């Protein structure tokens, strides 16, 4: 074989260096493309699509709290879920909260509701069932629903419509439609951050577990319920509180 002179050796060295550099650039480009195609954390944890919880014709997907049968109080009429409870109390023989069969942790929940004159009800979440519980509110925090102006007794600001019951006040300036007219309520629960909305306005927000929250808990009726607000996932419920109320356009999305 003919010997390679110094010039040829230098040329081959430069060519080999070029091939190596091109290969590195190609590899880097491939790596960059792979990284770009990987969803970001915000994309991976983006809210899910809205889920309808009421089909307008049946109570499919719902059950009565701690019961195998829904009972006589809860019905479907005119595209709404109706509760025909009477007497002002809770959980009569055929009554009790109507709760979702599915469980929800972090969520955004929305519905429309209208209440009867002097009526009382609520929306609860993170409800846990069990033989030791008589009422859904023993575990689930409540977004209060009430005929504020028609209520017979004295009311505190944490007992009116939109309040986080016995914990956080709802403002007197809120927009509340009277009995027989539809209102829209929304609850956001996102890793302990809670927002209550009423008819398009955010009326309160708080951080569950904060020092302020702990102080309010210690001064509330809930201090006597050891499992209240302990679960961070559970059913969403519509309260039977002894007066007629109607619900429609019920939906949720997971956060």
Per-residue pLDDT band for 186 (boundaries 50, 70, 90) equals: very high
CA distances from 94 to 83, 115, 224 (A): 11, 20, 26
* Chain length of the chain: 255
Give the mean pLDDT of the chain: 86
Average pLDDT over residues 121-149: 97
* pLDDT at residue 95, as a whole number: 84
- Going by their DSSP bridges, the two strands 62-64 and 51-52 should be labelled as unpaired
- The predicted pLDDT at position 206 comes to 98
Residues 58-103 pLDDT 10s: 999 999 999 999 988 999 999 999 999 887 677 666 789 999 999 9
Token output for 150: 């028609």
pLDDT, position 44: 45
| Separation between Cα atoms, residue 106 and residue 45, nearest integer Å | 11
Indicate the burial class of 60 (C-beta count within 10 angstroms; 0-12, 13-18, 19 or more). Answer: exposed
Tokens 């209060």 locate to: 144
3-class SS letters over the chain: CCCCCHHHHHHHHHHHHHHHHHHHHHHHHHHHHHHHHCCCHHHHCCCCCCEECCCCCCCCCEEECCCCCCCCCEEEECCEEEECCCCCCCCCCCCCCEEECCCECCEEEEEEEEECCCCEEEEEEEECCCCCCCCHHHCCCEEEEECCCCCCCCCCCCCCCCCECCCECCCCCCCCCCCCCCEEEEEEEECCEEEEEECCEEEEEEECCCHHHHHHHHCCHHHHCCCCCCCCCEEEEECCCCCCEEEEEEEEEEC
| β-sheet bridge partners, residue 143 | 123, 164
Give the per-residue pLDDT at 92: 64
Task: Name the nearest CA neighbour of 231 among 144, 145, 127.
Answer: 127
- Can you give the pLDDT at residue 94? 75
pTM exceeds 0.85 for this model: no
pLDDT in tens, 16-61: 344 434 444 444 434 433 333 444 433 445 678 999 999 999 999 9
By the 10 Å C-beta count (0-12 exposed, 13-18 middle, 19+ buried), 6 is classed as: exposed
Asked if the model's pLDDT at residue 187 lies above 90, the reply is yes
d(C-alpha 9, C-alpha 210), whole Å: 74
Percent of the chain clearing pLDDT 90 (strictly above): 75
Residue 131: phi and psi, rounded to 5, are -60, -25
Is the separation of the CB atoms in 64 and 71 below 8 Å?
yes
């Amino acid at each position: 074989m003919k010997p390679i002179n110094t010039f040829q050796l230098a040329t081959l060295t430069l060519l080999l260096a070029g091939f190596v550099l091109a290969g590195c650039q190609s590899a880097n480009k491939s790596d960059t493309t792979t990284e770009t195609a990987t969803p970001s954390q915000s994309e991976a944890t983006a809210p899910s699509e809205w889920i309808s919880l009421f089909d307008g014709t049946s109570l499919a997907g719902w059950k009565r709290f701690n019961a195998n049968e829904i009972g006589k109080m809860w019905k479907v009429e005119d595209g709404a879920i109706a509760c025909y409870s009477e007497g002002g109390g809770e959980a009569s023989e055929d009554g009790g909260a109507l709760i979702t069969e599915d469980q929800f942790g972090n969520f955004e929940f929305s519905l429309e509701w209208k209440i009867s004159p002097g009526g009382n009800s609520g929306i609860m979440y993170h409800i846990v069932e069990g033989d030791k519980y008589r009422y859904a509110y023993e575990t689930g925090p409540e977004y209060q629903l009430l005929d504020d102006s028609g209520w017979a007794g004295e009311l505190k600001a944490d007992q009116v419509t939109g309040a986080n019951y016995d914990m956080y006040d709802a403002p007197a300036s809120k927009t509340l439609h009277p009995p027989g007219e539809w209102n829209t309520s929304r609850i956001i629960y996102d890793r302990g951050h809670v927002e209550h909305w009423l008819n398009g306005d955010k009326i309160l927000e708080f951080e569950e577990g904060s020092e302020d929250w702990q102080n309010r808990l210690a001064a509330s009726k809930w201090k006597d319920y050891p499992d209240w607000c302990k679960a961070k996932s559970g059913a969403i419920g519509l309260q039977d509180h002894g007066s007629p109320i109607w619900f429609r356009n019920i939906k949720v999305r997971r956060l």
